[in-house]
Structure 1
Amino acid sequence: MIHIARKFKEIVKIGKGAKILQHSKAAEAATKLGGIFHIEHDLSYTTGEEKAAQRRLRLKPLLNEFYRFIGEIKHPIGKLRVAINYALNQKERVY
């Protein structure tokens, strides 16, 4: 997930200072991923099974929302297209 988030954050960072990028699809995707990381950080578990169960319960709905969001972006170009394609290619690994 960190590598996926990095791709979107790089887009926003490139345009830092450009007001349009503060409200861009890349910025919104990065914000959604930030919420996922925040919840992941707060998970409490003692076994791998507990961790997997909590991820399914708490993170899967947010991951579904993230993937729905990027899937609805029409005709992405440039670095945004690269970031979306990378995220989609990694989807099976993050679930």
Structure 2
Amino acid sequence: MSVTEKDVRYMAGLARLQLSEEEVKTFKEDMNDILGYMDLLEEVDTENVEPLEHVIELESRLRKDEAKEPLAHEDALKNAPDADSDYFRVPKVIE
């Protein structure tokens, strides 16, 4: 299967994109290169390959999710640039 310039224009229309003639030709070549690479990948024998979640082994770099005491209300407001007794004060954004 190969992508034609007509296919590129159709996909651009679906995405509401306006492409120049040069961009249409570039995208056509790029898409055909991608499809060629996919054809090459289909030739690889994966019969005895276990499915992977990731290409490389990853270890979680995140801390353990442990429940802790919540931050006291006063402590949370202590470093606020502007606060009243209960809330953070922020500049008005919407008129």
Higher RCO (C-alpha under 8 Å, 6+ residues apart) = 1
TM-score under structure 1 length normalisation: 0.27
Larger helix fraction of residues: 1
